[in-house]
């Protein structure tokens, strides 16, 4: 279980690092847009992301 969790965390870090590595200007623009959003909008994005992740986890496991 711990090994699987560590693998998942490592993959998340790799995926999260792709955009800043490949296109730092686009990442900076996206981050500045995110910083200017209201709390409700950011929460909705987070909730949507979690739901998509849960659905994918359910489908592929």
List pLDDT tens digits, range 37-46.
999 999 999 9
Q: Residues 6 or more apart from 27 whose CB is under 8 A from it?
A: 19, 20
Prediction pTM value: 0.71
- DSSP code per residue over 21-43: HH-HHHHHHHHHHHHTS-HHHHH
pLDDT, average across residues 24-51: 94
Average of per-residue pLDDT across 46-53:
94
Mean pLDDT over residues 13-28, rounded?
94
- Residue 58 class from Cβ within 10 Å (0-12 exposed, 13-18 middle, 19+ buried)? exposed
Average pLDDT over the chain, rounded to an integer = 92
Residue 49's pLDDT is what? 94
């Amino acid at each position: 279980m711990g090994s699987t969790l560590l693998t998942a965390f490592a993959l998340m870090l790799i995926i999260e690092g792709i955009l800043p590595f490949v296109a730092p200007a686009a990442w900076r623009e996206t981050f500045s847009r995110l910083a200017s959003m209201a709390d409700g909008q950011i929460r909705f994005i987070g909730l949507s992301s979690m739901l998509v992740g849960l659905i994918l986890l359910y489908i592929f496991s």
